A and B are shown apart, each in its own frame.
Chain A
Amino acid sequence: MNLEKVVFGFFVVLAATLNFGFFIGDIDNPELHNPYELFAAVVVNLIATVLKFGDRTQIGAVHLATSLVADLQLIGATLMFGYATYVSTAGMNEAWTASVVSLSGGALLANVVSVVLLVVETVSFHRG
């Protein structure tokens, strides 16, 4: 067992699960989407991205690309969340919640691709 692979797999999967946890629930109901979960998703996604630095294989490059997409979407979501809470006069209403959650949904898709890549890599490793 390779500790590096464990850590890598752990963060990739955790990023996807946290993202999923935030995303699930009615899209326009702010009560069902915990900001702490979004925060955790952003942090874990950033760590997963850094872990993917410096891999020269083709699959490593796609890994890094999916992570960057997820980061972009999640940071976009947090920016909207912050704007809705602190700047917008309407506050965290249904429309804002829907935007934030849909952005995180996009990130979830990227994270799912990442997990699929991880599985593909593992399976092909066993075959080889």
Chain B
Amino acid sequence: MGNPLLVFWKNIFGEDDDRPRVRRATFRVAAHSAAQASATIFLILRRMRAPLIVLIVIFSVSVLGLTLIPGQDADGNPYRMGFFDAFYVMSYTATTIGFGEIPFAFTYNQRMWVTISIYLSVIGWAYAIGSLLSLLQDRAFRSALALQHFSRKVSRLREPFMLIAGYGRTGELLGHSFDALGRRFVVLDRNSERIDGLELDSYHADVPGLAADARDPGHLAVAGLGHSSCEAVVALTDDEEANLAIVMAAALLRPDLPVIARVTSRTIAERMQAFGSPATVNPFDRFGDHLRLALRAPASYQLMTWLESGPGAALPERGLPPRSGRWIVCGYGRLGQELTRDLRAEGLDVTVIEDHPADVGDADLLVGDGSDPWVLAQADLDRAVGLVAGTDNDTTNLSLVAAARRSNPELFLAARQNSAASAPLFAAMEVDALLVPTELVAHEVYAQLSTPLLWRFLREMPAMGDDWAAAIVDRLKGLCGTHLQTLWKVRLTAQEAPALGSWLGSGEARLGQLLRNPEDRDDPLHALVLIVMRGREVTLAPDDDFVLEPGDELLLAGWSAARRALDTILLVHGVLEYLVTGRRVPSSWIWRKVSSSGSR
């Protein structure tokens, strides 16, 4: 691949059979959308015709009049103005500059004509400038300009970028996380206020945004769906149908791209699965899973929340949720249904409190308003073990939590926070489990896209059991203390780990030999390998005898000093030999020559 010409030919002819077809389809869609934009500009040009013609006519009539009206020179001889003089006079008169009467003082005849021309030209200018300004204010014109500006910015992107469709609270959180990582993204949202808000958000990189309906594949294409640097599509709109449409467009036009969509209903999630295999994030389902995990395996849940919170996070306390007893679920909406199903699956009794009679399966139903003290009293709080305040109203949820805590301080409290504005109130309430759907979706998407290895680890980890998780938490605590240090990824390839060379392929490459202090090999490196990925297979928390192979991907947790030390091992020749054999190898060229000739 060293020859640029070969690369060039390969790029042109060497693609898979179906790739060009896909790309062409996307380009066609994009071109259609761009043509719509230019159509609007043609329409605008057309509307400027009348004012321009009026201006030309007024100007030419005035000039013609001046050349035809007889004047006098300084000596009183008859004189006719030439075209140039007339044009000159009219130009400065019409633009209200007014240099005076040249080349000779005007006669009354000429002055009368100039008076008329002044008023005419003022009307002409006012008309032309007024039309131009009203065009600039025109919505269609502005949106056409914005579309052109946006598509130019997107097509000039040379770094990999993500396409975020739907820039609500979730999109904003996700955008800020990715911006902090230095990743680029493009935003589509139907609401123009959200797009205007992009400029106020302090992003490091320029974020192209377009106020357009993401359900239109043309808009997606303009936003870079067909762009070769587009690396993922994220559908985060609050409209299920729109998310489905985005998944469909992405799957049909760019089947190779990873797609992540937010869903809240199982039907839509299943309909999405028909298009490729998009990753779907259902905040209510995921919260139910978390709650189940917290009930069944507190240590696994503790490890998960700790790692999900990212570097610098304090070790969360290991909660002790009640494993048996009766739960009360207030609000039987999407969250209530998911949680009731999950709790029932754990073998727990559930009492549902809901305004309207509903089919709650094998759980008890109490019809009434949960925030009504009388209804809550009927639910027999004293003998319950947990309460879920899961309505879509924050005030109701807060008062439910407060009332429940007053009547039974031992209750395990889970609450749902709907609006970002009530975050401080819920924080002050200190509930045991808090669901913020927007943040949960943002975290999930972030984990999937930024550190796929960590996400994989979190998905596989619950299957290993609670004791295993407790052991990992203890090891991490021993390494890092109570605050999580760095998490980083290492790929054992020729580019990223050149110093390992043939040792990796020897079949003798044990993990325990690699993770040693390069200064003193008796000292282990202060880092823990969380997961090793080989192809599609993963191994969680491998032990020291694990045999490494070329191409393995490792996710490590530990001090940043350990990260630097590992980088040294992977990059500097000779360090590995010391770690494996205990022999110091000279690293400079001269000493290597000298020592190799000495040993010969």
B48: chain A residues at CB < 8 Å are 50, 53-54
**Which of A43, A46, A53 meets B45, CB within 8 Å?**
A53
A/B pair count, beta carbons within 8 Å: 49
* Contact pattern, B 500-513, Cβ under 8 Å of A = 1, otherwise 0: 00000000000000
Is B414's beta carbon under 8 Å from chain A? no
A78: chain B residues at CB < 8 Å are 83
If the complex has contacts A54-B43, A56-B42, are A47 and B53 also in contact, measured as CB distance less than 8 A? Answer: yes
Give the size of the chain B interface in residues (CB under 8 angstroms). Answer: 21
Contact status A39-B52, CB under 8 Å: no
If the complex has contacts A39-B64, A46-B56, A50-B56, are A85 and B82 also in contact, measured as CB distance less than 8 A? Answer: yes
> Which single residue of chain B is at the shortest CB-CB distance from A38?
B83
A window 2-56: CB within 8 A of B: 35-36, 39, 43, 46-47, 50-51, 53-56
* Contact pattern, B 51-73, Cβ under 8 Å of A = 1, otherwise 0: 01100110010011001000000
> Which single residue of chain A is at the shortest CB-CB distance from B52?
A50
Chain B's nearest CB lies how many Å from the CB of A26?
Answer: 22
Cα–Cα, bound, A35→B64 (Å)? 11
Chain B's nearest CB lies how many Å from the CB of A100?
Answer: 12
Cα–Cα, bound, A39→B63 (Å)? 10
Cα–Cα, bound, A55→B46 (Å)? 8
B window 15-63: CB within 8 A of A: 38-39, 42-49, 52-53, 56-57, 60, 63
Contact status A47-B82, CB under 8 Å: no
Cα–Cα, bound, A121→B63 (Å)? 35
Chain A's nearest CB lies how many Å from the CB of B505?
Answer: 63
> Which single residue of chain A is at the shortest CB-CB distance from B87?
A82
> Which single residue of chain B is at the shortest CB-CB distance from A81?
B83
Is B84's beta carbon under 8 Å from chain A? yes
> Which single residue of chain A is at the shortest CB-CB distance from B55?
A50
A window 75-116: CB within 8 A of B: 78, 81-82, 85-86
A85: chain B residues at CB < 8 Å are 82, 84
Contact status B60-A82, CB under 8 Å: no
Give the size of the chain A interface in residues (CB under 8 angstroms). Answer: 17
Cα–Cα, bound, A46→B43 (Å)? 20
Contact status A56-B56, CB under 8 Å: no
Chain B's nearest CB lies how many Å from the CB of A22?
Answer: 13
> Which single residue of chain A is at the shortest CB-CB distance from B86?
A39
Cα–Cα, bound, A53→B131 (Å)? 15
Chain A's nearest CB lies how many Å from the CB of B446?
Answer: 45
B38: chain A residues at CB < 8 Å are 56
Cα–Cα, bound, A47→B57 (Å)? 8
B82: chain A residues at CB < 8 Å are 82, 85-86
A81: chain B residues at CB < 8 Å are 83
Contact status A82-B49, CB under 8 Å: no
Contact status B84-A56, CB under 8 Å: no
Contact status A54-B42, CB under 8 Å: yes
Cα–Cα, bound, A81→B84 (Å)? 9
Contact status A86-B84, CB under 8 Å: yes
Cα–Cα, bound, A33→B76 (Å)? 29
Cα–Cα, bound, A119→B49 (Å)? 23
Contact status A54-B46, CB under 8 Å: yes
Cα–Cα, bound, A31→B183 (Å)? 74
B53: chain A residues at CB < 8 Å are 47, 50-51
Chain A's nearest CB lies how many Å from the CB of B76?
Answer: 23
Contact status A82-B83, CB under 8 Å: yes
> Which single residue of chain A is at the shortest CB-CB distance from B64?
A39
> Which single residue of chain B is at the shortest CB-CB distance from A50?
B52
Cα–Cα, bound, A82→B67 (Å)? 14
* Contact pattern, B 73-86, Cβ under 8 Å of A = 1, otherwise 0: 00000000011100
Cα–Cα, bound, A39→B44 (Å)? 29
Chain A's nearest CB lies how many Å from the CB of B28?
Answer: 19
> Which single residue of chain A is at the shortest CB-CB distance from B43?
A54
A35: chain B residues at CB < 8 Å are 83
B52: chain A residues at CB < 8 Å are 50, 53
Which of A50, A51, A78, A86 has the largest number of chain B CB atoms within 10 A?
Answer: A50
| Inter-chain pairs besides A50-B56, A56-B38, 16 sampled, C-beta below 8 Å | A35-B83, A36-B67, A46-B56, A50-B48, A50-B49, A50-B53, A53-B52, A54-B48, A54-B49, A55-B46, A56-B39, A56-B42, A78-B83, A82-B84, A85-B84, A86-B82
Pick the 5 closest A-B CB pairs, nearest first: A54-B46, A54-B45, A43-B60, A82-B84, A50-B52
A-B contact pairs, 12 of them (CB 8 A): A47-B56, A50-B56, A51-B53, A53-B46, A53-B49, A54-B42, A54-B43, A54-B46, A54-B48, A56-B42, A82-B82, A86-B84
| Residues of chain A whose beta carbon lies under 8 Å from any beta carbon of chain B | 35-36, 39, 43, 46-47, 50-51, 53-56, 78, 81-82, 85-86
